[in-house]
Amino acid sequence: VRELAGRTAFVTGAGRGIGAAAAHRLGEAGAAVAVVDRDEAGAEEIVKQLLDKGIPAIALGCDITDEREVEQAVRRVSAELGGPDILVNNAGVLRDNLLHKTSVDDWDTVMTVHLRGAFLCCRAVAAHMTTNGYGRIVNVSSVSALGNRGQANYSAAKAGIQGLTRTLAIELGPKGVTVNAIGPGFIKTEMTAATAERIGVSAEELQRRSAEITPVRRVGEPADVAELIAFLASDRSSFITGQTIYVDGGRRL
């Protein structure tokens, strides 16, 4: 069903991984898609795939931590594709370390990309959504928000995303905009492959270990997360707002 026909989605970090899967899933449901990523070549590659499927899409090389770049990107999307009606705040980075080894730079980088980035995109896109009286914002948090060794910065940022979500749900609900967060568990992407490399095991070995302690006995695929994003981006979820929904195969850290 093309239930998102006529909608435009602005997906950050969509040049690969979970964001790319979300771009495909939203496009398959009928949305036009703005593929936003700091990695412009990655964004262009995903747009090529979307256009091949007949999905209207544009690539935007944009660093979500830069206020001017975000404002410009949203203006361009609004002019070329309309909306945006759907915002997926997905771009993210890791700078994992135990507290005593965490530099101020690593702390600031993680806070800036996740929190300042999500704030800037919400502010810019919400202006269009409230004018149109309709919007869906999906913020990507993580099971790490509940606490995870070696991720003080990331855990704090992902918990912050949940507070941002609850507050914007209150502020924007009366204007027809719902705001929810999702909390993926272990998902097979370049992010978790990089974690494996950092701790000195193969990506497959880390996946095997993770599957073993997950109730459904497997790790997640980007498509598992994209499915929930598509539901929260649709009209079907109109009475759900301010929530964090975990997509983790039953695993809590």
Q: Are 214 and 249 within 8 A, CB to CB? A: yes
Binding span for ligand NAD by CB under 6 A among 71-79, 125-133, 170-178, 190-198: 190-198
* H/E element, 32: strand 32-37
Only segment of 2-10, 59-67, 121-129, 234-242 that touches ligand NAD (CB under 6 A): 59-67
Q: Are the beta carbons of 113 and 38 closer than 8 angstroms?
A: no
Asked whether position 140 contacts ligand NAD by CB under 6 A, the answer is: yes
Could you tell me the smallest distance in angstroms from the CB atom of residue 140 to ligand NAD? 4
Residue 90 lies near ligand NAD (rule: CB under 6 A): yes
What single string gives the DSSP state of each residue in 144-186? GGG--TTBHHHHHHHHHHHHHHHHHHHHHGGGTEEEEEEEE-S
The answer to whether 150 contacts ligand NAD (rule: CB under 6 A) is no
Q: Is 237 helix (H, G, I), strand (E, B) or coil?
A: helix
Among 4, 8, 11, 16, binds ligand NAD (CB under 6 A): 16
The one catalytic residue in 154, 186, 231, 246 is 154
Site membership for ligand NAD, residue 192 (CB under 6 A): yes
Question: By CB under 6 A, is residue 117 in contact with ligand NAD?
Answer: yes
Q: Say if residues 28 and 34 touch (Cβ distance below 8 Å).
A: no
Active site residue 154: yes
40 binds ligand NAD (CB under 6 A): no
What is the residue-wise DSSP string for 175-229? GTEEEEEEEE-SB-SHHHHHHHHHHTS-HHHHHHHHHHTSTTSS-B-HHHHHHHH
Q: How many helices (H) and strands (E) does the chain have?
A: 9, 7
Is residue 87 involved in binding ligand NAD (CB under 6 A)? no
Max Cα–Cα distance, the chain, nearest Å: 51
User: Least distance in Å: CB of 191 to ligand NAD?
Assistant: 3
- What is the phi/psi pair of residue 198, to 5°? -65, -40
186 is a site residue for ligand NAD (CB under 6 A): yes
Name the minimum Å distance from CB 50 to ligand NAD. Answer: 15
| Residue in this structure with the two tokens 């993770």, named with its chain if needed | 210
Enumerate residues 193-252 that contact ligand NAD by CB under 6 A: none
Is there binding between residue 91 and ligand NAD (CB under 6 A)? yes
Cβ at position 212, least distance to ligand NAD in Å: 16
Does residue number 113 form part of the binding site for ligand NAD (CB under 6 A)?
A: yes
Residue ranges binding ligand NAD (CB under 6 A): 12-13, 15-19, 37-39, 42, 63-65, 90-93, 113, 117, 140, 142, 184, 186-187, 189-192
Catalytic residues: 154
